[in-house]
Amino acid sequence: MYMKEKASILIGNGLVVTMDDKRRVIPGGYVAIEGDRIVGVGKGDGRDRFDAEEYIDARGSIVMPGFICAHTHFYGALLRASPWFAKIEPPTDFMQNLQRIWWALDVLLTHEDAYAAALIGSIDFVKSGTTMFFDNISAPTSIDGILDHMEKAVNEVGIRGILSFEATQRRSLEEGVRGVRENERFIKKNNSDPSKLVKGAIYLHASFTVSDDLFIMAKEIAEKYNALLSIHAEEGLVDVFHNLERYGLRPIERMKRLGFLGPDVILVHVVQANDDELKIIKETGATVAHNAMSNMLNAVGVPPVPKMLKMGITVGIGNDGYIFDVFENMRSTYLIHKVWNLDPRLMTPLEVVEMATINVAKMFHVEKELGSLEEGKKADVIIIKPEFTPTPVNEETVYGHLVNTFNGRDVDTVIVNGRFIMKGRKLLTIDEEKAVERVHKTVEKLWDRLLEKGEYQLDYLKL
Ligand SMILES: [Zn+2]
């Protein structure tokens, strides 16, 4: 007798955007999940092949891999619409932005703030279809153990991610080392445990706040544990000038000379890189996290992403802790290079969707497990149920709609590691209302502290 295969979840009759090597889009297709894995992807509703505990009819919906965010700061969410912005003299450039806003904030952050930030950020991610992220937090006065508080929040929501502490020597050499050690502690605790959805990595702030010694220490620890390394690179001109003055090298050149660069390194922003530096990135196999909305907000310029893609550099989309809705970040990425280069041909919808899914999986070295819908991969799946479709959504048009029509509020269902996190836009893992209430209370206290004690942080260590 013919026996059907078992599936815990079967999603049938959807428009399945696989993001596999052939970039197959299957109209009226199914995705079958058993446990934490995808066990089948094909045409139809899948019910002739699978005996499913739960069947979801996805007619009129798009089924695709969960989005992956290449770079974020959960704590960025804590300053959304904050009264602090009205109190300060508005920064006129990138360095003032750090001195007056972010460094004034980060020295006041507590473990509770870090927990609240990870909680609200994870919720924001789920509600707009992102199932994995790479976060880094800066909190120089609350270093030890901070990543455990954030991990607790991410686990409560149930998504997958990488947490890291932003090691910086801007206040002291000792704080920089402690930052790297916090990452090492977290990596040791989580990275070899396959049951953990949250992993660690090494993060350095930027090459203008990090000495050669710390670069080398960070690299050695990352290699020891086979962990990822990431750093803000050439976001503003201060980074370029600092390195030229001190070392006679541009930041990417200096990192190359230190032996820091490699396929394990994610360079964040890379706005100011010249052609020689792009060549170094390509040759070393380092990758780039692009944050279009943050670059616009901070008025730092636009990185040469179309050129990077042409050269074969892997680029993924991050949000830099600004707007968490991946659709807004994809839309901005789609548009910004056209206007900056006065060329409407630059960036196709498919390239942009790749930069928010499979490319980031490659950057995180998890492309064999995540980033596409394929048999044998981990089951991180989202269902998008568009509220409004002005033109037909089909095999041919779906990438155009993902970039031009849909938004985070259209994400109906989110599955991470084979587990429902959101269904019909309702979070199933935590009480959303209670969580938001707790976060608001924490933020109110943080804003009071900031208004009372917040100070511009003008000095950084002269390395
Ligand atoms: Zn950043």
Residues with CB under 5 A from ligand 1 (ion): 320
Q: pLDDT per residue over 61-84, tens digit each?
A: 999 999 999 999 999 999 999 999
CA of 207 to the centre of ligand 1 (A): 13
- DSSP 3-state assignment of 460? coil
Helices (H), 191-228: 212-225
d(CA 192, CA 225): 9
Instruction: Say what the pLDDT of residue 459 is.
Output: 77
* Structural tokens at position 46: 């899948």
CA atoms 240, 168, 88, 293: torsion sign:
positive
Alpha carbon of 77 to ligand 1 centroid (Å): 12
Domain 67-363, CATH: 3.20.20.140
Are the beta carbons of 148 and 182 closer than 8 angstroms?
A: no
What pLDDT score was predicted for residue 2? 77
Q: What's the 11 CA to ligand 1 centre distance in angstroms?
A: 36
Distance (Å) from CA 239 to ligand 1 centroid: 14
E strands along 74-220, which residues? 130-137, 160-167, 198-200, 202-206
CATH superfamily of the 5-65+371-427 domain: Urease, subunit C, domain 1 (2.30.40.10)
Residue 320 Cα to ligand 1 middle (Å): 4
Residue 275's Cβ-count burial label (10 Å; 0-12, 13-18, 19+) is: exposed
CA of 367 to the centre of ligand 1 (A): 23
As averages over each run of 10 residues, the pLDDT of the chain (463 residues) reads 91 98 98 98 98 98 99 97 95 95 97 98 98 98 98 98 97 95 98 97 97 98 98 97 97 98 98 98 98 97 98 98 98 98 98 98 98 98 97 98 98 98 98 98 98 90 68
The CA 232 to ligand 1 mean position distance, Å, reads 6
Domain ranges of the chain: 5-65+371-427, 67-363
Residue 269 CA to ligand 1 centre (angstroms): 8
Domains 5-65+371-427 and 67-363 share a fold: no
